[in-house]
Amino acid sequence: MEENKDVFYLSEHFVSLQGEGNCAGLNSLFLRFHFCNLTCTWCDTKYTWVAASGQFQPYTSATLKALISAHHTEQVILTGGEPTLYRLDNLVVPGKKYHVESNGVFIPTAPLAVTIADGTAFRRERMDESVISHFNWVISPKLSNARQQINGQSLSFWAAKDYCIFKFIIRNEADLDEIESILKRFNIAGNKVYVGLEGQSLESQLKPALVDEIVSRGFNFSPRLHVMLWGAGRGK
Ligand code: SF4
């Protein structure tokens, strides 16, 4: 793919409720960006990055801003895939509130030049921090349960920022131990952490004993409302 100057690839866009994190329940416009730099085993949006698994459309910043403006929803969720492959600071429409769901591997205020696993190359300039610091960044580092590794440089960047929260998806108590060691290493306060349960069924989200453990360790609980309501349904 050519240098990504003013091209944004979207897998889909839709209005739903924010399912996870510190703003769960808000009526929101979702822009789901295509392509991801990771390959998490339990990814529930593999159609955004598995080669030939999904459709995607190119937009310019102007056409995307027109799309955002055309919707009544105040909240705009930039998700994926991995949205920081793109210049998100170019998508601001006055009066809208932006949230970014990112795996946190890329530092938005640094230029990016990366080739992802399927061979697609991305380049973008640095984002303007005076713009993106008004976004609600939901940084979701992947634990060993996703067969991915923590990126120390980028997590140090995020740990120093007051405009992000951290979201982790766990399977069991051992994952909570791993979270605690990450927080200690990067000096992240537990009250900035939201922990959700892995799975794509209502049953997978109803584990009160594990939620008790999340709370007793001083973390916030992140529901996964879209999973509870619609399971693995797409466009929700
Ligand atoms: S970072 Fe997110 S979108 Fe990318 S593979 Fe992992 S779970 Fe899927």
- Report the pLDDT value the prediction gives residue 4, as an integer from 0 to 100: 64
Q: What's the gap in Å between 43 CA and the centre of ligand 1?
A: 5
Closest ligand 1 atom to Cα of 105: 1
Residues listed for the chain: 236
Q: How far, in Å, is the centroid of ligand 1 from the Cα of 201?
A: 18
Cα(203) to ligand 1 centroid in Å equals 22
Nearest CA to ligand 1 atom 3: 81
Nearest CA to ligand 1 atom 6: 40
Beta carbons of 86 and 114 less than 8 angstroms apart: no
Q: What is the DSSP letter of 234?
A: T
Topology of domain 8-230 in CATH is TIM Barrel (3.20.20)
Tokens found for residue 54: 């999904």
Residue ranges around ligand 1 (CB below 6 Å)? 36, 38-40, 43, 45, 48-49, 80-82, 103, 142
Distance 143 CA to ligand 1 centre (A): 12
Give every residue of the chain whose pLDDT is below 70, as ranges: 1-4, 53
CA of 139 to the centre of ligand 1 (A): 12
Which pLDDT does position 172 carry in this prediction?
Answer: 95
pLDDT for res 149: 77
| Structure confidence at residue 186 (pLDDT) | 96
Phi first, then psi: give them for residue 122, nearest 5 degrees.
Answer: -125, 140
Mutation choice for ligand 1 from 9, 20, 40, CB with most ligand atoms inside 8 A? 40
Is the distance from CB of 222 to CB of 196 less than 8 angstroms? yes
Distance, in Å, from the CA atom of 202 to the CA atom of 205, rounded to the nearest integer, reads 5
Give residue 171's pLDDT: 94
Q: Which residue's CA is the nearest one to ligand 1's atom 8?
A: 43
Q: Which of 26, 38, 29, 1 is nearest to 142 (CA)?
A: 38
Task: Please give the angle made by the CA atoms of 169, 173 and 175, to the nearest 5 degrees.
Answer: 45
Q: On the CB side of 19, how many CA atoms lie within 13 Å of its CA?
A: 22
Answer whether 167's CB lies under 8 Å from 222's CB.
yes
